[in-house]
C-alpha cells in the first residue's frame, strides 16, 4: 500500500491506537498530521518517528471538541499540505474502563452521556464539517471513525461510552450516504479490547482472560493490530466500501 | 439485382491488421476502383476513390434509378423499408449491429458501452412509427409525397423530392449521417453522401442494408469519399445536384458554398453551442443528485462532441443545494460515469490543449474569488465552478464542463445573445411555469431546442434541427390551382 | 546573508562544478522549490491547489510545473517585480498577452549561459569573430535572445565582431564583406542568430547568386524556429542550405533551444542528422510527459517537454512547454510546437469560439 504524497490526519495520535495508526501510515510514505490535546512531547516524538519510518510527521495541537480549534487546525494543515486525503477520528474523551467500578445504569447522569457523546460524535462532527468541503473539492476522500466492538456486543455495559460510540457509528452511516455522491467514503473500525493503551492499563487480568477465551484468535489486540484495517479503509483497495464497520477483535464479534 | 460491384463489406486479416471495405457504390458497370486507405489503430478502412468519370456515372445512375424506382414507391413503402433496416441495426444479434459495436469503437475511439448506448438511443428515432412522426411533423399529410392532395385553400398540391441530394458529412459522432440520409430517402430523392475520414463506416452499412432489404433500390444511392476541398470534384458533383447538405465548421462550409452553383440549393449545418439551465426549484436535497446525474450523462455522451452537447451549465442560486455544491455533485457523477463509460483516448494535440486549458483555469483561481477547478490530473474530467461569471464561453469538450451560478435568467441573456447564430439546445430543469417563461426568453436570443437534462444528446424524432425542417427544406411543392381544376371540368368527356 | 544570496551562492557553485549526481540535483531542486514556494505567492497558491507543497514533495520530478502561459497571467517571481533588473518578454502570440520573466539579478542567468555556451559552442576556442543576425539588446531590451547574443558576443567574440542587421532586414553588403573577409584571411567566423533571419538571408543570397566557403573552424548557431515569419522550411533543407551558402559542415551548425521562461539553453552537437538530440547542462533536467496525467510517457513515445531549470531560481523552476518531444538516453528529440487540436464532432470548438468572440467584440 503506497501512501506517498497522501495527507493523513489522525486525531488523538500522541499515544495508544492513534500513535500506532500514525506510524503505520508513515511507514507507507504518508504525510501524517499527528493531532494531540495535551501531550506535546509525546506527539512530537510520534511525528519524529513518522519521519524516521520514511514518511513525514507534523504534530499539531487542537481540542477536537472545540469548533474554533478544529477550524484553525484544518486551516493550518491546508497551508502546510494543500490538501487532506484521509481523516482518522480516533480521539475520544478519557474514560475509565473498569468493569468493577463502572457506573450502573441507574447511576448514570445525563452529563455522563453528554460528556461521552461530545467526545465521540461532536468531535467527529466538527472535524468532518471542516474537511468535507476540502474533500468535495478533490472529489475524493476517506474518513475513518474509530469506535468499539462493544457497539455490537456490550460484554461490559459501559453505558455512556458504548452509547456514544454507537451513536458515532450511526453518524458515520448517515454521513456516508450523503457524501458518497462526492466520492467521499466514511467507515468505522471497531476494535475489541486493545492492550496496552492508557485506557486499558487498569483492565484486570481476569477480564482479559475471559475475553481471550472467547476470542477465536486467542489473544488480545495490540495497537498495531488496529492499524491494518484502518490503512485498508484509507486506501484505494477499499474504494467501493462505505458506511461499513470493520470489527478488529480476533473474531470476538461475528 | 445484386451487382457484383457492391462488395461493400468484408473482413480479412492482412499483416495482423484488420482491413475492411467501406462506402457503397451502385452498379455502374465496373468494379475496379482506386483505393483510399484510412488507418485506425489496428484497423484499416478501404474506401473506393472514384475518378471523375466514374463519379459521373454514379451520379447518372443514382439520378436515373431513383427517378424510376424510388419515386414510384409509396412513402409508406419507403417508411417500411427504412424502418426494417433500422430494426436490424437495433437488433443486437444481427450481424450489422455486431459489426457496428465492434468497429465503431476502434474508428472513433469512443468506449464500447458509449457506442452501444448511443447507437440504440439514436437509431430508435428511425423506427417506423417515429419516421411517420417525421412525415406528419413536416407535411401534415404524408400522402403529399405520393399524389396530388386536396388543399384547404382549394386546389391540389404534391411534394416533389429533388433528383439528387449530395450530403457532405463530418465529424466522428457515429451514425450521425443517417439523419440527413433518411430524410433524403423519405422525400424519394437520389442520395450521394460523402463520409468523413473520422467515421467512414456507418453510412455505407446503412446503404448496404437498404439494398439488401429492397434490392430494387440498390442503385438509388451511393456512399463515397473524397478529400475535402477537392474543388474540381466538388464543383462537378454540386453542379449535378439539386441540393447540397453540408456539415462542418464555418470555414469548411464557406469553402463548400463557394463550389455550389446558383442553381443548386445549399443547406449548411454549422457547429453549434448548447448548454444547460437548472432552476433553484430543481435543487432540493432530494432531487439535486438526479439532476446532476442527468447533467453528467449529457456530458459523457460522445464526450460532448455533438452539437447538442452541453458546454456549460447555468445553475440558479437560492436552492437548498447551492450551485457550487451542484458543481461538486456533477464532478462526483462524472467520476462514477468514468468507471462505466471511460473517456475516449485523446490525441497528443487534444491532451495538450486540455492540459493547458486546465492549468490556465487553475491559475485564474488566484485572482477570481469563489472560482473552483474540480478534479485532478488523475481524473478524466474537469468541472470549473464560477460565481456569477458574466461570460459565455465554450468548453474544450472531452468531459470539461463549466458551472456558472446566476440569480435571474435575464442577467445572463445579454452574454449569450451575441452568439445567436451558434446557439442550439438547452437542457433544462425547471418548473412548468419557468420552463415556458424561460423558453420565451431563450427563443428570442436564438435557441432552437429545449429539452430535459439527460436528453440533450437524444433529440426526438422530427425535431427541427437548428430550427429548420427535416423534409420541408428538401422538397418543392407543386400546386394545381383550383382555377385549373374548374377549368378542366369543361373539357371532361362526360361534361353535360 | 539573505536567503536569495544564499541560493545564488549555492547555485553558482553548482553551475561552476557542472556535474551533478541525481542526489545533488534533487537536493538543490528541493531547496529552490522551498524558496519559490515561500516567496512566489501565486506559485504557492498553485502548489497548494495541486496538493503538492514542499512538505509533500520529496523528488524533483514531483515539483509542480507551471505552463508557459502562466507567465502571461500573473507575475511569477520571488522578488518584487517592480525591482526587477530585467524583464524578458515572449513575443505576443494570438491572444496578444505577453509572458513576462522577471529577473532580480542576471548573475545566475549569465553564468549559466557562459559556462554552457563555452562547453557546447566554443569548445576549445576562446574567442571567435562573430556576426550576429539579430537586433541588438538596445533595440530589443525585452528579448531574451537579444540578451543572450549580446552576452556571448561580449564574452566570446573578437573585437571585430558585429551585428549584421539593419532597420528593415539583413544588412547584405556588410554580411558579404564579413564573409568575404573570412574567406580571404582564413580566420574562422561564427554566424549566430534567429533561424528566420537565416531564412531571409538565404533568399537574399539566392537572389544575388552568391555562396561562400568559410574557413575551417567556422560555425553557425541558429535558434528559435521560424514562427510564421517566413516560409516554412523543412529542417533538413534548412541545414542543407546553411551548408550550401556558407560552406560550414552540418556538424558545425548548432541549434540552440531556449525559451524566454527559462534561464538555461539546450544545444545539439551539430545537425548532420535531423532531428538532432538536444541536451542541457547539469543544472537543467527534462521530463517528457503525458500532459493530462503529468506522468512520464514510456520510452520511445512522444510527449510534452517539461524543464526543471535550477537557474530559474527567481521565478519558477519547473516549466511545462507546448513542445512535443521524445526522451532518449542522452537527452531528447524536439519535434516542435504542438498543433492546435481539431474539432472532431459538430460542437463548436474553443478556437472557433474565440474567433467568434473576437468577431463580436469588434
For the segment A54-91, what is each residue's pLDDT rounded down to a tens digit? 999 999 999 999 999 999 999 999 999 999 999 999 99
- Give all chains having 3 or more CB-to-CB distances under 8 Å with chain B: A, C
Tens digits of per-residue pLDDT, B407-432? 999 999 999 999 998 999 999 999 99
Q: Topology of B4-271+467-479 in CATH?
A: Aldehyde Dehydrogenase; Chain A, domain 1 (3.40.605)
**What is the predicted pLDDT for the residue at B2?**
35
- Assess whether pLDDT exceeds 90 at residue A1: no
CB B394, CB B273: distance < 8 Å = yes
Dihedral (C-alpha) B449, B455, B461, B466: value to the nearest 10 degrees? Answer: 30
Q: Is the pLDDT of residue A193 over 70?
A: yes
pLDDT for A94 equals: 87
Q: What is the residue-wise DSSP string for A27-69? A: HTT-EEEEEESS-HHHHHHHHHHHHHTTSEEEEEE--TT-HHH
User: Are the beta carbons of C56 and A7 separated by less than 8 Å?
Assistant: yes
Q: In chain C, count H helices and then E strands.
A: 10, 16
> Are residues B283 and B291 in contact, defined by beta-carbon separation less than 8 angstroms?
yes
pLDDT at B6: 38
pLDDT tens digits along B363-413: 888 778 788 899 888 889 999 999 987 788 889 899 999 999 999 999 999
User: For the sheet containing B273-278, what is the strand order?
Assistant: B372-374, B382-386, B400-406, B310-316, B273-278, B423-429, B449-452
For chain C, give percent helix, strand, coil, nearest 5: 40, 20, 40
CATH 3.40.309.10 domain extents, chain B: 273-460
For residue B12, pLDDT beyond 60: no
pLDDT of residue C228: 44
> Nearest Cα to B397, choosing from C345, A78, A9, C292?
C345
What's A122's domain CATH number? 3.40.50.720
Cβ-based contacts under 8 A for chains A and B: 27
Q: How far apart are CA B431 and CA B408, in angstroms?
A: 14
User: Domain ranges in chain C?
Assistant: 108-281
Residue A254 in any domain: the answer is no
Distances (CA, A) of B273 to B310, B392, B460: 7, 10, 18
How far off is chain A from C289, nearest CA to CA, in Å?
19
Task: Give me A43's grid cell.
Answer: 506527539
CA gap B71, B57 in Å, rounded = 20
Interface test mutation site (partner B, options A2, A176, A182, A239, max chain B beta carbons within 10 A)? A182
- According to DSSP, the residues that pair with B427 across neighbouring strands are B276, B451
* Closest by CA position to C7, among listed C108, C153, C86: C108
Cβ atoms C179, C189 nearer than 8 A: yes
Asked if B385 and B292 touch (Cβ cutoff 8 Å), the reply is: no
432489404: which residue's cell? B213
Q: What is the pLDDT of residue C360?
A: 52
C108-281: CATH, from 3.30.420.10, 3.40.190.10, 3.50.50.60, 3.40.50.980: 3.40.50.980
Query: Cis ω on the peptide bond leading into residue C275 (within 30° of 0)?
Result: yes
pLDDT of B15 higher than 80: no
Question: Among A30, A22, A73, A10, which Cα is nearest to A46's?
Answer: A22
CA distance B230 to B390: 43
Grade residue B173 by pLDDT with cuts at 50, 70 and 90: confident
Q: Do the beta carbons of residue C66 and residue C321 sit within 8 Å?
A: no
What is the distance between the alpha carbons of residues B351 and C213, in angstroms, rounded to a whole number?
A: 46
| A100-114 residue pLDDT tens | 889 999 999 999 999
Alpha-carbon span B186 to C35, nearest angstrom: 71
CATH, domain B273-460, list 3.20.20.70, 3.40.50.970, 3.40.309.10, 2.60.120.10: 3.40.309.10
| Contact in structure between A137 and B324 (CB atoms under 8 Å) | no
Q: What percent of chain C has pLDDT over 70?
A: 92
Query: Is the Cβ pair C344, B311 closer than 8 Å?
Result: no
- For chain B, give the number of residues: 496
Q: Could you tell me the pLDDT band of residue C74, with boundaries at 50, 70 and 90?
A: confident
The yes-or-no verdict on residue C309 having pLDDT over 80 is: yes
CB nearest A138 (choices: B289, B292, B376): B376
The yes-or-no verdict on residue B11 having pLDDT over 50 is: no
In a domain, A253, yes or no: no
Q: In this complex, do B247 and C342 lie within 8 Å of one another by their Cβ atoms?
A: no
Does C47 sit within 8 Å of A56, measured CB to CB?
A: no
| Predicted pLDDT of residue C45 | 87
Whether the per-residue pLDDT at B442 is higher than 80: the answer is yes
pLDDT at C230 over 50: no
Residue span of the structural domain in which A115 resides: 7-248
In the predicted model, what is the mean pLDDT of residues C173-184? 94
Helix crossing, B112-123 with B75-90: angle to 10°? 160
**Smallest CA–CA distance from C62 into chain A, residue:** A5
Q: Name the E strands within A135-243.
A: 141-146, 184-191
Question: Residue for cell digits 500513535?
Answer: A19
- Assess A183–B contact: CB distance below 8 Å, yes or no: yes
Catalytic annotation, pick one of A58, A158, A161, A247? A161
Instruction: Kindly state the average pLDDT of the residues A5-34.
Output: 97
Quote the number of domains for chain A: 1
Is residue C95 classed exposed, middle or buried when 0-12, 13-18 and 19+ CB atoms within 10 A define those classes?
exposed
Query: How many other CB atoms are found less than 10 A from the CB of residue C256?
Result: 23
What pLDDT score was predicted for residue B16?
59
Residue C359 has pLDDT above 80, yes or no: no
pLDDT of residue A199: 82
* Spatial distance between the Cα atoms of A2 and B338, rounded to a whole number of angstroms: 23
- At residue C234, the pLDDT reads 80
Annotation says A161 is catalytic: yes
Please check the confidence at residue C2 and state whether its pLDDT lies above 90: no
Residue whose entry in the numeric block shows the C-alpha cell 451560478: B405
Q: Is the pLDDT of residue B5 over 60?
A: no
pLDDT above 90: residue B457? yes
The residues on B that touch A, with CB distances below 8 Å, are 289, 292, 325, 328-329, 331-333, 335, 372, 374-376, 379
What is the least distance, in Å, from the CA of C225 to any CA of chain B?
Answer: 19
Q: A42 lies in a domain?
A: yes
Distance from C-alpha of C308 to C-alpha of C315, rounded to nearest angstrom: 12
**Residue A235 Cα, gap to closest chain B Cα (Å):** 16
Subunit contact B379:A183, Cβ cutoff 8 A: no
Q: How many CB atoms lie within 10 A of CB B318?
A: 12
How far is B78 from B159, CA to CA, in rounded Å?
A: 15
* pLDDT at residue B8, rounded to an integer: 38
Is A136 in CB contact (< 8 Å) with chain B? yes
Residue B332 and residue A182: Cβ atoms within 8 Å?
yes
Interface of C with B (CB under 8 A): 42, 45-46, 49-51, 66-67, 69-70, 73-74, 290-294, 302-304, 320, 322, 324, 338-350, 352-354, 356-357, 360
* Average confidence (pLDDT) over C55-62: 94
pLDDT tens digits for B116-150? 999 999 999 999 999 999 999 999 999 999 999 99
Q: Judge: B350–C341 Cβ closer than 8 Å, yes or no.
A: yes
Give the helix/strand (H/E) hosting B314.
Answer: strand B310-316
Please tell me if residue A206 touches chain B, with a CB cutoff of 8 Å.
no
The C-alpha cell of C272 is what?
548532420
Distance CA C159, CA C181 (A): 15
Give chain A's end-to-end CA distance (angstroms, integer). 27
Q: pLDDT tens-digit profile of C238-249?
A: 999 999 999 999
Under the banding of pLDDT at 50, 70 and 90, the label for residue C46 is confident
C276 close to C289: Cβ distance less than 8 angstroms: no
Contact A233, A144 (CB under 8 A): yes
Separation of first and last alpha carbons in chain C: 54
B265-269 sheet: strands from edge to edge = B221-224, B190-194, B164-168, B243-247, B265-269
* Cα within 13 Å of Cα(B438), Cβ side: 24
C356/B419 CB distance under 8 A? yes
Provide the grid cell at B308. Answer: 447538442
Angle at C96 between CA C92 and CA C100, to 5 degrees: 55
* Residues C196 and C226 sit within 8 Å (Cβ to Cβ): yes
- The set of residues, in sequence order, having a beta carbon less than 8 Å from that of B496 and lying 6+ positions away, is none
Measure the CA–CA gap between C193 and C202, rounded to whole angstroms.
13
Q: How many Å separate Cα A160 from the centre of its chain?
A: 18
Q: What mean pLDDT, rounded, does chain B reach?
A: 92
Of the candidates C69, C292, C322, the beta carbon closest to that of B346 is on C292
In this prediction the pTM is: 0.88
Count the alpha carbons within 13 Å of A122 in the hemisphere toward its beta carbon: 15
Confidence of residue C229 (pLDDT cuts 50, 70, 90): very low
The pairing of strands C318-327 and C303-309 is antiparallel
The C-alpha cell that represents B226 in the structure block = 473524397
Is A181 in contact with B329 (Cβ distance < 8 A)? Answer: yes
Supply the DSSP symbol for B145. Answer: G
DSSP 8-state symbol, A216: T
Q: How confident is the model at residue C343 (pLDDT cuts 50, 70, 90)?
A: low
Answer whether residue B360 shows pLDDT above 90.
Answer: no
B260-300 tens-digit pLDDT: 999 999 999 999 999 999 999 999 999 999 999 999 999 99
Residue A78 falls in which region: left (phi positive, over 0), alpha (psi -120 to 50) or beta: alpha
Cell numbers for B77: 413503402
Confidence (pLDDT) at B3: 36
Tell me the shortest Cα–Cα distance from C54 to chain A, in angstroms. 8
Per-residue pLDDT for B441 more than 70? yes
pLDDT digits (tens, 9 = 90+) for C249-275: 999 999 999 999 999 999 999 999 888
Contact present, C307 and C262 (Cβ < 8 Å) = yes
| Greater model confidence, C116 or C42 | C116
Element (H, E) at B135: helix B128-139
Amino acid at each position: 500500500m503506497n501512501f506517498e504524497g497522501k495527507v493523513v490526519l489522525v486525531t488523538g495520535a500522541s499515544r495508544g491506537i492513534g500513535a500506532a495508526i500514525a506510524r503505520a501510515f508513515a511507514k507507507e510514505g504518508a504525510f501524517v498530521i499527528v493531532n494531540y490535546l495535551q501531550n506535546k512531547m509525546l506527539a512530537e516524538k510520534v511525528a519524529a518517528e513518522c519521519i524516521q519510518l520514511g514518511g513525514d510527521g507534523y504534530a499539531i495541537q487542537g481540542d477536537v471538541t472545540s469548533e474554533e480549534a478544529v477550524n484553525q487546525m484544518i486551516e493550518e494543515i491546508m497551508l502546510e499540505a494543500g490538501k487532506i486525503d484521509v481523516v482518522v477520528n480516533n480521539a475520544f474523551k478519557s474514560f475509565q474502563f473498569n468493569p468493577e467500578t463502572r457506573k450502573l445504569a441507574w447511576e448514570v447522569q445525563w452529563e455522563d452521556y453528554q460528556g461521552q457523546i461530545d467526545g465521540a460524535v461532536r468531535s467527529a462532527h466538527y472535524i468532518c464539517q471542516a474537511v468535507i468541503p476540502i474533500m468535495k473539492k478533490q472529489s475524493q476522500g476517506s474518513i475513518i471513525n474509530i469506535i468499539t466492538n462493544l457497539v455490537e456486543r456490550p460484554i461490559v455495559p459501559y453505558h455512556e461510552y458504548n452509547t456514544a460510540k454507537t451513536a458515532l457509528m450511526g453518524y458515520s452511516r448517515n454521513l456516508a450516504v450523503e457524501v458518497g455522491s462526492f466520492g467521499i467514503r466514511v467507515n468505522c473500525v471497531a476494535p475489541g479490547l486493545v492492550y496496552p493503551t492508557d485506557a486499558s492499563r487498569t483492565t484486570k487480568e481476569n477480564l482479559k482472560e475471559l475475553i481471550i477465551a472467547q476470542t477465536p484468535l486467542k489473544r488480545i489486540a495490540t495497537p498495531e493490530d488496529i492499524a491494518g484495517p484502518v490503512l485498508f479503509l484509507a486506501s484505494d483497495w477499499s474504494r467501493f466500501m462505505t458506511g461499513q464497520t470493520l470489527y478488529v477483535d480476533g473474531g470476538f464479534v461475528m | 439485382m445484386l451487382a457484383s460491384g457492391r462488395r461493400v463489406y468484408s473482413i480479412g486479416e492482412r499483416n495482423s491488421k484488420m482491413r475492411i471495405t467501406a462506402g457503397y457504390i451502385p452498379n455502374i458497370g465496373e468494379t475496379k476502383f482506386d483505393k483510399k486507405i484510412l488507418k485506425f489503430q489496428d484497423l484499416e478502412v478501404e474506401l473506393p476513390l472514384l475518378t471523375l468519370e466514374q463519379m459521373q456515372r454514379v451520379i447518372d445512375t443514382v439520378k436515373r434509378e431513383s427517378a424510376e424506382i424510388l419515386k414510384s414507391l409509396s412513402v409508406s413503402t419507403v417508411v417500411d423499408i427504412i424502418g426494417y433496416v433500422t430494426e436490424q441495426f437495433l437488433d443486437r444479434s444481427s450481424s450489422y449491429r455486431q459489426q457496428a459495436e465492434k468497429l465503431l469503437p476502434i474508428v472513433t475511439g469512443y468506449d464500447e458501452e458509449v457506442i452501444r448506448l448511443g447507437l440504440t438511443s439514436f437509431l430508435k428515432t428511425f423506427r417506423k412509427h417515429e419516421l411517420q412522426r417525421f412525415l406528419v411533423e413536416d407535411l401534415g399529410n404524408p400522402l403529399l409525397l405520393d399524389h396530388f392532395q386536396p388543399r384547404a385553400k382549394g386546389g391540389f398540391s404534391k411534394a416533389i423530392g429533388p433528383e439528387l441530394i449530395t450530403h457532405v458529412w463530418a465529424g466522428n459522432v457515429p451514425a450521425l449521417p443517417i439523419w440527413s440520409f433518411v430524410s433524403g430517402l423519405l422525400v424519394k430523392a437520389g442520395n450521394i453522401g460523402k463520409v468523413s475520414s473520422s467515421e467512414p463506416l456507418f453510412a455505407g452499412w446503412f446503404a448496404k442494408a437498404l439494398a439488401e432489404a429492397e434490392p430494387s433500390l440498390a442503385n438509388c444511392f451511393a456512399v463515397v469519399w473524397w478529400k475535402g476541398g477537392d474543388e474540381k470534384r466538388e464543383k462537378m458533383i454540386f453542379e449535378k445536384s439539386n441540393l447540397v447538405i453540408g456539415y462542418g465548421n464555418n470555414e469548411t462550409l464557406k469553402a463548400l458554398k463557394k463550389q455550389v452553383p446558383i442553381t443548386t440549393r445549399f443547406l449548411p449545418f454549422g457547429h453549434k453551442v448548447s448548454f444547460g439551465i437548472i432552476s433553484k426549484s430543481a435543487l432540493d436535497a432530494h432531487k439535486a443528485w438526479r439532476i446532476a446525474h442527468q447533467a453528467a450523462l449529457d456530458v459523457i455522451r460522445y464526450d460532448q462532441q455533438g452539437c447538442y452537447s452541453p458546454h456549460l451549465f447555468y445553475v440558479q442560486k437560492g436552492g437548498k443545494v447551492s450551485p457550487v455544491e451542484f458543481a461538486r455533485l456533477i464532478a462526483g457523477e462524472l467520476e462514477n460515469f468514468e468507471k462505466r463509460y471511460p473517456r475516449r483516448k485523446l490525441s497528443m494535440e487534444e491532451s495538450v490543449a486540455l492540459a493547458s486549458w486546465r492549468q490556465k483555469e487553475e491559475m485564474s483561481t488566484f485572482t477570481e474569488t469563489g472560482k473552483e477547478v474540480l478534479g485532478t490530473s488523475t481524473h478524466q474530467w474537469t468541472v470549473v465552478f464560477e460565481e456569477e461569471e458574466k461570460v459565455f464561453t465554450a468548453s474544450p469538450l472531452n468531459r470539461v464542463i463549466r458551472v456558472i451560478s446566476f440569480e435571474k435568467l435575464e442577467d445572463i441573456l445579454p452574454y449569450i445573445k451575441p452568439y445567436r447564430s451558434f446557439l442550439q439546445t438547452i437542457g433544462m430543469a425547471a418548473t412548468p411555469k419557468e420552463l415556458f417563461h424561460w423558453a420565451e426568453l431563450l427563443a428570442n436570443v436564438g435557441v432552437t431546442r429545449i429539452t430535459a437534462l439527460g436528453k440533450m444528446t437524444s433529440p426526438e424524432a422530427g425535431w427541427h434541427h437548428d430550427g429548420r425542417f427535416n423534409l420541408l427544406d428538401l422538397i418543392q411543392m407543386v400546386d394545381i390551382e383550383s382555377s385549373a381544376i374548374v377549368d378542366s371540368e369543361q373539357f371532361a368527356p362526360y361534361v353535360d | 546573508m539573505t536567503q536569495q544570496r544564499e541560493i545564488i551562492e549555492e547555485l553558482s557553485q553548482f553551475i561552476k562544478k557542472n556535474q551533478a549526481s541525481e542526489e545533488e540535483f534533487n537536493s538543490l531542486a528541493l531547496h529552490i522549490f522551498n524558496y519559490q514556494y515561500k516567496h512566489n505567492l501565486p506559485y504557492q497558491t498553485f502548489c497548494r491547489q495541486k496538493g503538492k507543497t514542499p512538505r509533500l514533495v520529496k523528488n524533483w520530478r514531483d515539483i509542480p510545473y507551471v505552463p508557459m502561459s502562466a507567465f502571461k497571467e500573473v507575475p511569477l517571481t520571488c522578488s518584487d517585480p517592480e525591482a526587477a533588473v530585467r524583464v524578458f518578454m515572449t513575443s505576443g502570440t494570438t491572444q496578444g498577452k505577453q509572458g513576462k520573466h522577471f529577473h532580480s539579478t542576471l548573475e545566475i542567468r549569465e553564468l549559466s549561459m557562459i559556462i554552457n555556451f563555452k562547453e557546447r559552442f566554443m569548445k576549445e576556442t576562446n574567442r571567435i569573430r562573430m556576426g550576429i543576425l539579430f537586433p541588438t539588446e538596445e533595440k530589443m531590451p525585452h528579448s531574451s535572445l537579444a540578451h543572450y547574443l549580446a552576452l556571448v558576443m561580449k564574452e566570446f567574440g573578437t573585437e571585430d565582431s558585429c551585428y549584421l542587421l539593419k532597420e528593415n532586414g539583413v544588412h547584405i553588403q556588410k554580411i558579404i564583406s564579413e564573409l568575404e573577409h573570412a574567406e580571404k584571411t582564413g580566420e574562422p567566423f561564427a554566424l549566430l542568430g534567429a533561424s528566420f533571419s537565416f531564412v531571409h538571408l538565404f533568399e537574399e543570397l539566392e537572389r544575388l547568386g552568391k555562396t561562400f566557403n568559410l574557413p575551417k573552424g567556422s560555425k553557425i548557431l541558429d535558434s528559435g524556429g521560424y514562427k510564421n515569419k517566413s516560409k516554412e522550411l523543412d529542417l533538413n533543407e534548412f541545414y542543407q542550405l546553411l551548408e550550401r551558402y556558407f560552406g560550414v559542415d552540418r556538424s558545425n551548425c548548432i541549434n540552440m533551444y531556449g525559451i524566454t521562461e527559462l534561464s538555461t539553453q539546450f544545444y545539439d552537437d551539430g545537425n548532420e542528422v535531423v532531428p538532432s538530440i538536444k541536451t542541457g547542462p547539469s543544472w537543467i533536467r527534462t521530463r517528457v510527459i503525458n500532459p493530462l496525467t503529468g506522468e512520464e510517457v514510456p520510452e520511445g513515445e512522444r510527449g510534452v517537454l517539461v524543464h526543471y531549470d535550477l537557474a530559474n531560481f527567481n521565478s519558477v523552476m519547473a516549466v511545462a512547454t507546448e513542445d512535443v518531444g521524445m526522451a532518449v538516453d542522452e537527452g531528447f528529440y524536439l519535434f516542435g510546437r504542438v498543433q492546435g487540436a481539431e474539432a472532431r464532432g459538430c460542437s463548436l470548438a474553443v478556437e472557433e469560439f474565440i474567433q467568434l468572440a473576437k468577431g463580436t467584440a469588434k
